[in-house]
Structure 1
Amino acid sequence: MTKTWTWSMTGYQFEGKSHQEIQDICVTAGFSGIECVPPLLQGCTTEEIQTIGGSYRNAGLVIETFHLPFSSEDDISSFYETTRRKAVDKACLWMERASAVGASVGIQHPTTNRFNVDEEGLDRYFNSIGKSLGVLLPVAEKLGFIIALENMLPAGGGRFTSRPAHFEQLLSEFDHPGLGFCLDTGHALVAGGEDAADFQMTMGSHLRAYHLADNSGDRDSHLAPGRGLVNWTKVFRRAAEQKFQGAMCIETPPFAKGPDYSLEAWKSLVTETDALVEESLG
């Protein structure tokens, strides 16, 4: 088995930096690009966003994925229609901006509330997200875009999409060329424990993005890969078996003194993650 993917870095680690500074870090460290995020484009016109995307391509970098908004008000599974519709409208706007910067995959939190589906009713969540996807997927299709639903933390237990079975049902009810999944390794460990790999297995060929983060299994501490208890051998071997060819987003800072990390720290993050892959694939 061989590594068929590249590494990108979440744009949330670069808030406050210029795009030139971000590009310099990525090129020096060995990232293929970034996962773009709303704060990096806030206040920009479509033309300015297109120019920003072009500057990354000119630097030899790519922006494959874009993290769509996920504040409490951005709940596409909300039971409140006013909230849900506003969240959908906002997601549509940011999909258009994501496409303008060059991204082809949008990472979408299926919910931003933390309630237990066993108490609130799983069918109510599927009813709400179904209405939202009914609007979002045609927009994505028009843009040549994929919406990748991310697995969530359990938030005390039973949160929507914190169980592999929820993704099985999403596929069963809403299978569409524009719908995919994003595996968050840290979320999977906290939610699944020893069965964390079940998320990746369930998502299967519909995996369109990865968020790589490590932790001790009790909280989403966003440690650099290899600094916690995630079973990276399982993650990387499964990705290699599936011949995943996108940019896996490392969603953590370097394991070093911050917050103004040195170029050496950024380079070490990439080389250490590469070493995990080599060890995993043999």
Structure 2
Amino acid sequence: MIGIVKAQVQVNAPFSMLWERYLPLFLEQGLNPEIGLDASSLDCFSQRDFAKVADMFHKAGLSITLHAPFQDLVPGALDAKILAASRSRLQDAFDQLDIFQARSIVCHIGYESRHYQGLEDRWLDHSIGTWAPLADQAARQGTLLTLENVYETEPQLIKELLTRLRGVKVGFCLDVGHLQAFGGGDFQGWLETLGPLVGQLHLHDNHGVNDDHLALGAGIVPFPGILAYFTNARQRPIITLEPHHENSLQPSLTYLAAHWPW
């Protein structure tokens, strides 16, 4: 069963870590990568480097998803210069889509209520201006753009954003660890509001305080109920494991195999 699960999930790793250490492990173990294109990777590696790694995964018959840069970025910024810088850095990642031929590319939504209280409509307008052209670019490459929660504490504004983006191909990436640690852990409410829009799941565990990225089952995230929702809804989102420690991967695969809903 672990082999079946392994063939159907992605495993997150920054490009730099694949290049320097983990590429042989991924290829030997047949792990589908979610490759993090952070700012450092985009600045330090060439398109030839990206193409070399992508070609190795493609020849091994493995699927690729991507994670766009997110640190310091504000995709719905009200400051025009900050917004332009955020869009430029995201564009750096999207310009690699033709190389990686990724199933999806994940981006952080970047909304925090304490910064934008009373300014939600302006934030939405600027966010749509960021995501709509990127979603179109991704769709032309056969890649789904999914927008991920981090510090968002309620799902309604995310639903409004995705509703306004309905004319382009965009899904929601539900990061269950972020929802548990930062969003209050109301999985039932979030799934009732956003469940049909979920195109991807980021799975990792914590105890509801810090974003620990523990192995599945090592914290309090209610994975069986989350997976049961998608089984009952007959949805098959892309599933990504996000182990931040090498020894967290195997326990996560074992746990997921025991609860695999499909």
TM-score range, shorter chain: 0.7 to 0.9
Q: Which of 114, 122, 125 in structure 1 is aligned with 2:123? A: 125
Q: Aligned partners of 2:159 and 2:132: how far apart in 1?
A: 18
Matched AA of 2:256? T
Aligned residue number for residue 149 of structure 1 = 147
Q: Aligned partners of 2:88 and 2:82: how far apart in 1?
A: 10
Query: SS of 2:215's equivalent?
Result: coil
Query: SS of 1:216's equivalent?
Result: coil
Q: Aligned partners of 1:97 and 1:187: how far apart in 2?
A: 27
Give the stretch that moved more between structures: 229-238 or 136-145: 136-145
Matched AA of 2:142? G
Q: CA deviation at 1:15?
A: 4.2
Q: Is the 8 A contact 2:5 2:256 kept in 1?
A: no
Q: How does 1:26-37 map to 2 (within 5 A)?
A: 26-29=26-29, 31=31, 33-37=32-36
Q: CA deviation at 1:230?
A: 0.7
Q: Is the 8 A contact 2:171 2:197 kept in 1?
A: yes
Q: Is the 8 A contact 1:77 1:125 kept in 2?
A: yes
Q: 1:87 to 1:78 in 2, by over 3 A?
A: same
Q: Aligned partners of 2:123 and 2:204: how far apart in 1?
A: 27
Aligned residue number for residue 156 of structure 1 = none
Q: 1:140 to 1:197 in 2, by over 3 A?
A: same
- Pair 1:231-2:230 in alignment: no
Aligned residue number for residue 255 of structure 2 = 272
Q: CA deviation at 1:242?
A: 4.0
Q: 1:29 to 1:90 in 2, by over 3 A?
A: same
Query: SS of 2:77's equivalent?
Result: coil
Unaligned runs of 5+ in 1: 154-160, 255-260
Matched AA of 2:178? H
Q: CA deviation at 1:194?
A: 5.0
Q: Is the 8 A contact 1:77 1:129 kept in 2?
A: yes
Query: SS of 2:11's equivalent?
Result: strand
Matched AA of 2:255? E
Matched AA of 1:175? R
More contact order relative to length (CA 8 Å, sep ≥ 6): 1
Matched AA of 1:96? D
Q: Aligned partners of 2:172 and 2:67: how far apart in 1?
A: 13
Aligned residue number for residue 158 of structure 1 = none
- Pair 1:76-2:59 in alignment: no
Q: CA deviation at 1:196?
A: 2.1
Q: 1:244 to 1:45 in 2, by over 3 A?
A: farther
% identical aligned pairs: 20
Aligned residue number for residue 206 of structure 1 = 197
Q: Tell me the TM-score normalized by structure 2.
A: 0.83
Q: Which of 180, 183, 188 in structure 2 is aligned with 1:197? A: 188
Aligned residue number for residue 10 of structure 2 = 8
Aligned residue number for residue 155 of structure 2 = 164
Cα-Cα RMSD? 3.0
Q: Is the 8 A contact 1:9 1:35 kept in 2?
A: yes
Q: Aligned partners of 1:86 and 1:218: how far apart in 2?
A: 31
> Residues 90-139 of structure 1, C-alpha deviation per residue, up to 9 Å, x if partnerless?
2122112134112131111112x745156352222112212223432332
Q: Aligned partners of 1:149 and 1:203: how far apart in 2?
A: 12
Tell me the number of residue pairs that the alignment of Structure 1 and Structure 2 aligns.
257
Q: CA deviation at 1:41?
A: 5.9
Q: CA deviation at 1:10?
A: 0.9
Q: CA deviation at 1:184?
A: 0.2
> Residues 198-233 of structure 1, C-alpha deviation per residue, up to 9 Å, x if partnerless?
323322332221111111112222111111111111
Q: Is the 8 A contact 1:41 1:49 kept in 2?
A: no
Q: CA deviation at 1:17?
A: 4.5
Q: Tell me the TM-score normalized by structure 1.
A: 0.78
Query: SS of 2:172's equivalent?
Result: strand
Q: How does 1:12-161 map to 2 (within 5 A)?
A: 12=14, 15-18=16-19, 22-29=22-29, 31=31, 33-39=32-38, 42-63=43-64, 65-72=65-72, 74-111=73-110, 114=112, 116=114, 119-153=117-151, 161=152
Q: Aligned partners of 1:136 and 1:269: how far apart in 2?
A: 32
Matched AA of 1:132? T
Q: Is the 8 A contact 2:6 2:30 kept in 1?
A: no
